[in-house]
Chains A and B, each alone.
Chain A
């Protein structure tokens, strides 16, 4: 075959391949599937956020590690948010040694779509969030005790204060935890 003919043949083949690719089929999803997927996403998304830090087995959590009642803090006196205590609790961590701190929030009533922001001092990191000084979750609180396990690691001997800021609608409360590093 002459060169020009070969090029023409390739062009023709390319065009046929492109036409074939344009026809390459795929099934259509139904409107019902999309509705179900949307419903599952909102339910599952909320559940996952809750499960990040709500633990129902409070007794087993007590046995698993240190439990700090995060009732230190300041501002706002909204009655349906967890109450604050003026005392700032504290712990001592060992440098570069991960430690799980279980934060307990007691709420008088269920709270949906609350947000919890954890702010870390320099030199304290949260497992899974290296280098991040602030992490925010959307979550819900059950009536009663709600537990948030935080796996922390001290990467410097500076220590400092961890702030856990709980917000619901336009209300909020800040809890504090003092960390010393040995």
Chain B
């Protein structure tokens, strides 16, 4: 296969999964620069394994697992630079326009305050609890998808999710988000 054919084959295999992989990178690292590093490193690694990739039935799942393993390998580097606040300019879409209740500025402000507190609360969870909550409750991953990604039984994923939610609720009550 020529170099150009390699590149075309690679792009055809990986591009459909870019959005989901980028979101996973973001949820793993919580910071744009680190998410982009991780995403880039995944693509480089995957390109080097193109011969394997073409034989895989579900490249998206495979790529997610490789990304997760890369993250675990370099967890210290990524984890130390975790985001601690949600900047309005970093909101999805057009910032507040992406949030519900756009017609009510007071509610928008309250929502933003809550999200900032949520961000702070999430940063207090352990890495494994935080990731499971974000993947399941924010990104909508199924328990079996999380099981496949992080390599633990579904029962363990469930119990971690339960504990993570309970801890998150405690922190949000402590920080005054809920009374």
Q: Does A155 reach chain B (CB closer than 8 Å)?
A: no
A16-B178, A17-B172, A28-B93 known; A41 and B43 CB under 8 Å?
Answer: yes
Q: Is the Cβ of B165 less than 8 Å from the Cβ of A37?
A: no
A42 to B48, CA, bound (A): 9
B2 within 8 A of A: yes
Does B168 belong to the interface (CB within 8 Å)? yes
Taking a contact as CB atoms under 8 Å apart, the answer to whether A138 and B48 are in contact is yes
Number of interface residues of B (CB under 8 A): 51
Tell me, in angstroms, the Cα distance from A49 to B49 when the chains sit together.
11
- Chain A residues lying within 8 Å of B122, measured Cβ to Cβ, are 24
B 1-34 to A, binary, CB cutoff 8 A, 1 in contact else 0:
1110011001100110011001100110000100
Please state if B118 and A20 are interface contacts (CB–CB under 8 Å): yes
Nearest-neighbour CB distance to chain A for B17, whole angstroms, equals 11
Closest to B50 in A: A138
In the complex with contacts A34-B15, A42-B7, A113-B1, A20-B115 CB distance below 8 A:
yes
Q: How far is the CA of A28 from the CA of B11 in the complex (A)?
A: 20
Chain A contact residues, CB within 8 Å of chain B: 10, 13-14, 16-18, 20-29, 33-34, 37-38, 40-42, 44-46, 48-49, 112-113, 136, 138
Assess whether A23 is in contact with B100, with CB atoms less than 8 Å apart: yes
Let me know if A18 and B137 touch, CB within 8 A: yes
Q: A interface, by DSSP: helix, strand, loop or mixed?
A: helix
A38 to B, closest residue via Cβ: B11
A14 CA / B3 CA spacing, docked (Å): 52
Q: Is the interface of B mostly helix, strand, loop or mixed?
A: helix
Q: How far is the CA of A35 from the CA of B89 in the complex (A)?
A: 23
Which residue in B43, B50, B51, B92 is a CB contact (below 8 Å) of A38? Answer: B43
Cβ–Cβ contact A24 & B15, under 8 A: no
| A45-B48 CB under 8 A given contacts A17-B165, A113-B1 | yes
- Asked whether B47 lies within 8 Å of A25 as measured between CB atoms, the reply is no
Closest to A22 in B: B138
A40-B46 Cα distance, complex, nearest whole Å:
12
Knowing that A16-B178, A24-B122 touch, tell me 6 more A-B residue pairs with CB under 8 angstroms. A17-B172, A21-B133, A21-B134, A25-B86, A37-B43, A113-B6
